[in-house]
Structure 1
Amino acid sequence: MADDKRIFSRRSVLFGGGATAAAVTAGGAAWALRPGQESGSAFGFGFGSGWRGASQPVVGAFDMRTGAEVLAPSALFNSTGPQSFAFDDTNGQVFTLQTVQGGLLLDGEAGPVAYGDRKSAGDMCLTRMTGSGITLGHMYLRGFGHGISFGVEPTGPRTYIWLEGRADPKSGYGRTVVRVPFRDGAVLNSSDESVRHFDPVPGAADVCPALDLAGGRVLVSHQQGGLHRFSVYGMEDFLAGRFTPAQTIKAGVQVKEEEWFQGCALHGDYVYVLTGKPYTGKNGSNPRKSGGNTYVSAIDVRTGRPQGRHHVTVAPDLPYREPEGLAVRQAASQPALCLGFSVKAHDRRELTVYGFTV
């Protein structure tokens, strides 16, 4: 949501002009680099201002001209705006994360808590929905983070949620990765003994995961040393506490006000990145007539090279239209890269999702 410029300055990332060259570490025989090798600027390429300015129809593996509504505007369990979403393709369900709305009194609290305090504490509400947006259940997650991205892992009768944990009280963003079972109606604290914290990048900030279940991989977005990085891990190694990444993309970062980081996804050979803001008034920096400033970019995890960037203008008439979340849906006849928008509806925000096919 666009009500805290201080918080969102931490989400800003520029994949464009003036950025330093991307670097990647890769492990395993399938990749050109040796385990632990870091290329730095040795590749001899950067993002370049021309690449930033271009809007290419194909980004990574997906054709951005194929946008179609996947989820009609749907209410979440709380009235606040969505931060991200993830698919349970096995059961045909959608999960969403949002900051807990203000004025609620949850188990163990002395009184209702204001929205700003919820946000800075990293208190989130998780909603479970059908593929058509009907609410099936919810769960409160206190002290976990902001929810820029997360993952859903269906395992037999249980569904596990991969998300950030141990929120930084200064920012409300997570510092670890956790894997917790979904329990309808539960209130879970990040500090509970039952919550296992994975710390793949000690000391990192703004940590959030995404899953590539088809490839058995975990993507971890994080800030370290003032730079935004994406690290890729094998899921089995990650769960065993072996945190040597198969790849780490060290994207050149230059914080720009017009580029808010709004989500990421991993599919095949590419990390996909979502940036953008909500519409402003006609005299603002992002008026409706501009088509918005939502962009989807791709980076090849094998080389660190940018692999397309597209100005997403689908559904221009949505009210408010803030990009919120990026995920790959596998259940259809072919995979789809799906982008969420937060939209205004009466006294609440809702989530709508658009998909783009290969």
Structure 2
Amino acid sequence: MLGTATVGSVALAGGTASAAVATSTKFDLTAPSSELLREIDLQDVRVLQSFSFDNANKHIYTVGLVQEYRQLPGESRQYTNAERSANGDLVVTRLDLTGAEIGRMYLKGFGHGVSIAAEPSGNSAYLWTETDAVAETDANNNTNGWGTKLARFKFANGAVLTTGSSQLTKFSPVSGADRTTVAIDPVNSRLAVRYRASNVFKFSLYDLATFKSGTFTPLATVTQPTGSAYSDFQGFTSLGQYLYMIDGNAYTYANNTTTTPNNPDGNTYITRIDWNTGSVSDRQLTKAGQSLYYREPEGLAIQIPDTSNMAACRLVMGFASENSATDTDKMASLYYKSSLV
């Protein structure tokens, strides 16, 4: 296993570090969406935060916060939802492509689960997540743990890892950054990293093999777009020349007895950003999963249904959902776009 990679710091200015990303096709964000999985149960009942595909082994990995009163091995007591959130305690669920659960593990003190990435290895995968969470209280007085570094570790069914576990390889690509999360471009073997530096969110793109060796030289760096048009950031992924970002909120309802949202179109948007220029090349409202009772966007990932045809990819959107106002256990639903232009 590689040693802990904390070498060097990379000074990243706003905008693009270098126009080093080859021209590629892009997902047509105006194309209709298709359903992949609807209302799948995960290991714990809190909101899906993000997901990733092991395309080689046909597995899906999801991550969310540990549910209330789940007592893990080695723990002396049960913890509330608020305590789990503040500590950054996560649960990873491994699914097959039908949505059946085929494994799970727990990560204590890692972060909020903003993004997870799967790197296939044999018949399993190495997972990339945030780690070394630091608690931060927002304007609504909610306290969450957010990762300050990245971790890579082999999925191990039933395992409970802490930030000090020997199975982890840690990476700190940007000195002084926090809110550090990761996604993989599985076609081009690249790693996209989102982080906050000097209170500004940025994304950097790296060659995966070079990054794992401890050399953190980005192919490109862009600043996350902001403004009144953007609501809550909910995830990102990358394919070729383009970075994709999802933002939005759950539907709101007039009361707990209706299934008609106040805003039936929702406010979930997919944004496409050119790695070489940092500019937004398209931004579209998505109505995927519009019939879900509860519908909160949670994560983006690239799926390759047939690895013998790497050019046929899907941009998959995740949504947290629930059955009704009286049954609030959260489930996961996945929808995708596959039209490349």
Looking at structure 1, the residues matched to 158 and 224 of structure 2 have their Cα atoms a distance apart, in angstroms, of 39
The amino acid that maps onto 2:18 is: A
The amino acid that maps onto 2:128 is: W
Tell me whether 157-166 or 115-124 shows the greater mean CA deviation.
157-166
Match of 1:3 in 2: none
- Where 2:214 maps in the other structure, the secondary structure is coil
Looking at structure 2, the residues matched to 28 and 306 of structure 1 have their Cα atoms a distance apart, in angstroms, of 18
Assess if the C-alpha contact under 8 Å between 1:143 and 1:191 holds in 2.
no
Corresponding position: 1:216 with 2:189:
yes
Assess if the C-alpha contact under 8 Å between 2:21 and 2:240 holds in 1.
no
Deviations 1:237-262, CA, capped at 9 Å, x for gaps: 111111111110023434x5961000
Looking at structure 1, the residues matched to 21 and 333 of structure 2 have their Cα atoms a distance apart, in angstroms, of 41
Corresponding position: 1:293 with 2:258:
no
Match of 1:99 in 2: 65
Looking at structure 1, the residues matched to 34 and 92 of structure 2 have their Cα atoms a distance apart, in angstroms, of 25
Corresponding position: 1:336 with 2:321:
no
Using the TM superposition, give the Cα deviation of residue 205 of structure 1 relative to its aligned residue in structure 2, in angstroms: 1.7
Q: Rate the CA distance shift 1:28–1:307 in 2: closer, same or farther, 3 A.
A: closer
Q: Rate the CA distance shift 1:330–1:288 in 2: closer, same or farther, 3 A.
A: farther
Match of 1:13 in 2: none
Using the TM superposition, give the Cα deviation of residue 225 of structure 1 relative to its aligned residue in structure 2, in angstroms: 1.1
Looking at structure 1, the residues matched to 21 and 185 of structure 2 have their Cα atoms a distance apart, in angstroms, of 20
Looking at structure 2, the residues matched to 25 and 253 of structure 1 have their Cα atoms a distance apart, in angstroms, of 19
Match of 1:250 in 2: 223
Match of 2:235 in 1: 263
| % identity of equivalent residues | 32
Corresponding position: 1:319 with 2:293:
yes
Using the TM superposition, give the Cα deviation of residue 30 of structure 1 relative to its aligned residue in structure 2, in angstroms: 5.4
The amino acid that maps onto 1:23 is: G
Q: CA RMSD in A?
A: 2.2
Q: Rate the CA distance shift 1:117–1:232 in 2: closer, same or farther, 3 A.
A: same
- Of 123, 126, 139, 2:105 maps to 139
Q: Rate the CA distance shift 1:144–1:263 in 2: closer, same or farther, 3 A.
A: same
- Where 2:83 maps in the other structure, the secondary structure is helix
Using the TM superposition, give the Cα deviation of residue 206 of structure 1 relative to its aligned residue in structure 2, in angstroms: 1.1
Match of 1:37 in 2: none
Using the TM superposition, give the Cα deviation of residue 297 of structure 1 relative to its aligned residue in structure 2, in angstroms: 0.2
- Where 2:251 maps in the other structure, the secondary structure is coil
Tell me whether 163-172 or 266-275 shows the greater mean CA deviation.
163-172
The amino acid that maps onto 2:246 is: L
1:32-181 to structure 2, matched below 5 A, reads: 60-170=26-136, 171-181=144-154
Aligned residues: 308
Looking at structure 1, the residues matched to 320 and 225 of structure 2 have their Cα atoms a distance apart, in angstroms, of 28
Looking at structure 2, the residues matched to 149 and 219 of structure 1 have their Cα atoms a distance apart, in angstroms, of 10
- Where 2:337 maps in the other structure, the secondary structure is strand
Match of 2:6 in 1: none
Q: Which runs of no fewer than 5 residues in structure 2 stay unpaired?
A: 1-13, 137-143
The amino acid that maps onto 1:147 is: G
Looking at structure 2, the residues matched to 29 and 151 of structure 1 have their Cα atoms a distance apart, in angstroms, of 20
Looking at structure 1, the residues matched to 201 and 85 of structure 2 have their Cα atoms a distance apart, in angstroms, of 22
- Of 305, 319, 336, 1:355 maps to 336
Assess if the C-alpha contact under 8 Å between 1:100 and 1:115 holds in 2.
yes
Deviations 1:90-144, CA, capped at 9 Å, x for gaps: 1111110010001011122110111111111110000000111100010001111
- Where 2:103 maps in the other structure, the secondary structure is strand
Looking at structure 1, the residues matched to 186 and 163 of structure 2 have their Cα atoms a distance apart, in angstroms, of 24
Q: Which runs of no fewer than 5 residues in structure 1 stay unpaired?
A: 1-21, 32-58
Match of 1:279 in 2: 251
Match of 2:178 in 1: 205
The amino acid that maps onto 1:357 is: S
Q: Rate the CA distance shift 1:289–1:157 in 2: closer, same or farther, 3 A.
A: closer
- Where 1:62 maps in the other structure, the secondary structure is coil
* Structure 1 residue runs of 4 or more that deviate by more than 3 Å after TM superposition: 27-31, 251-254, 286-290
- Where 2:85 maps in the other structure, the secondary structure is helix
Deviations 1:267-308, CA, capped at 9 Å, x for gaps: 01100000000011249xx94434000000010001112110
Looking at structure 2, the residues matched to 260 and 289 of structure 1 have their Cα atoms a distance apart, in angstroms, of 16
Using the TM superposition, give the Cα deviation of residue 28 of structure 1 relative to its aligned residue in structure 2, in angstroms: 4.6
Looking at structure 1, the residues matched to 21 and 104 of structure 2 have their Cα atoms a distance apart, in angstroms, of 43
Corresponding position: 1:23 with 2:15:
yes
Q: Rate the CA distance shift 1:27–1:102 in 2: closer, same or farther, 3 A.
A: same
Assess if the C-alpha contact under 8 Å between 2:41 and 2:330 holds in 1.
yes
Q: Rate the CA distance shift 1:67–1:226 in 2: closer, same or farther, 3 A.
A: same
